[in-house]
């Protein structure tokens, strides 16, 4: 199967890091707790959770409004992708708007429509020509229609049927992230952990899997500093830079240099940050984000 088209619209992956960082809080493993002691459970008024909720919402909004970016497959115009999503909604939207009423009229037909909608949605989500922004829109519609869990289950089945397929493990991780957007902070840790494990599974199968390593690195970069994950994020970005140097040029690879420089900059290592950005710009002179950083 052709690899899923995960473009440089990496924002969807950022949410998993925010939630992953809060797993310890949700499970009561507060870093301030003394060894062997029982940490107090976080409450809804905990400023750490409030911040995580705000950042997750902001990232979801950024993803939905982000412009289409580079694709490693044959380019498809934004209009064509929007038309595909619109077609799916036209085909299934009315029937899914009131599933209970539809089921009462004709239970068999309702079940058939639901099955068809799930199959069509899955096909659109794994289509390599579907951008991340449009994929996010479709996930959102599935959530409104009450079909998100059913489609997520199909991703799990695909990964279970082909446990040695790195692409499907990475796709499953991306699907888990969409579920994360729909739950509260107490559940986000669970789905963040699931996504993280899926990306790790992909990397275990294929150490060169760009999508899985990039999303993993970006996720680690959003862990709070007190967890000490920043260096691990940098390590993964540096591995990507080395791996990309041996591969044919791909516009999305510019993001690795951008993020690596950002990580250095965050640590106060300005010289290393500028060096990372400049190295990326030499390889990808048309990348606007890198141009701004170097300037």
Structural domain of 35: 11-247
The pLDDT value given to residue 35: 34
Of the pLDDT bands very low, low, confident and very high (cuts 50, 70, 90), residue 224 is low
CB pairs under 8 A, 24+ apart, for 272-280?
279/241, 280/254, 280/256
First-to-last CA distance in the chain? 42
Q: How many CA atoms lie within 13 A of 281 on its CB side?
A: 15
What is the rounded distance in angstroms from the CA atom of residue 183 to the CA atom of residue 179? 7
**Rounded to whole angstroms, what are the CA distances from 52 to 48, 119, 178, 247?**
6, 33, 16, 36
Beta strand extents in 128-267 (DSSP E only):
none
User: Minimum mean pLDDT among 39-43, 106-110, 246-250, 258-262: which range?
Assistant: 39-43
Query: Is position 252 within any domain?
Result: no
Q: For 264-295, what is each residue's pLDDT tens digit? A: 999 999 999 999 999 999 999 999 999 999 98
Query: Is position 60 within any domain?
Result: yes
- Highest-scoring range by mean pLDDT, 25-29, 36-40, 153-157, 193-197: 153-157
> What percent of the chain clears pLDDT 90, i.e. is strictly above it?
38
The pLDDT value given to residue 13: 41
Q: For 129-150, what is each residue's pLDDT tens digit? A: 888 788 888 988 899 888 999 9
Of the pLDDT bands very low, low, confident and very high (cuts 50, 70, 90), residue 21 is very low
Query: Is position 281 within any domain?
Result: no
The pLDDT value given to residue 57: 56
**pTM of this prediction exceeds 0.75:** no
Query: Is position 88 within any domain?
Result: yes
Structural domains of the chain, count: 1
Residue 209 CB neighbour total at 10 angstroms? 21
What is the rounded distance in angstroms from the CA atom of residue 116 to the CA atom of residue 245? 43
Above 70 in pLDDT, residue 70? no
Above 90 in pLDDT, residue 91? no
């Amino acid at each position: 199967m052709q690899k899923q088209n995960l473009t440089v619209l990496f924002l969807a992956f950022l949410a998993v890091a925010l939630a992953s960082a809060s797993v310890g809080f949700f499970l009561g493993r507060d870093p301030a707790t003394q060894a062997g002691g029982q940490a107090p459970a976080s409450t809804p008024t905990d400023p750490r959770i409030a911040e995580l909720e705000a950042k997750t919402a902001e990232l979801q909004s950024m993803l939905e409004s982000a412009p289409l970016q580079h694709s490693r497959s044959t380019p498809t115009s934004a209009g064509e992708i929007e038309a595909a999503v619109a077609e799916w909604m036209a085909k299934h939207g009315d029937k899914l708007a009131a599933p209970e009423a539809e089921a009462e009229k004709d239970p068999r037909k309702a079940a058939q429509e639901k099955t068809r909608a799930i199959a069509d949605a899955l096909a659109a989500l794994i289509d390599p020509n579907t951008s991340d922004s449009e994929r996010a829109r479709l996930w959102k519609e599935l959530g409104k229609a009450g079909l998100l869990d059913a489609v997520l289950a199909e991703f799990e089945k695909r990964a279970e049927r082909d446990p040695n397929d790195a692409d499907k493990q990475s796709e499953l991780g991306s699907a888990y992230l969409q579920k994360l957007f729909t739950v509260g902070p107490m559940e986000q840790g669970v789905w963040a952990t699931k996504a993280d494990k899926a990306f790790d599974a992909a990397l275990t199968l294929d150490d060169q899997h760009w999508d899985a390593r990039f999303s993993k690195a970006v996720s680690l970069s959003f862990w709070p500093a007190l967890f000490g994950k920043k260096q691990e994020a940098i390590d993964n970005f540096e591995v990507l830079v080395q791996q990309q140097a041996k591969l044919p040029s791909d516009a999305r690879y510019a993001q690795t240099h951008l993020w690596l420089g950002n990580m250095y900059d965050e640590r106060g290592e300005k010289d290393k940050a500028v060096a990372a950005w400049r190295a990326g710009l030499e390889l990808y002179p048309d990348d606007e984000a890198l141009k701004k950083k170097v300037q």
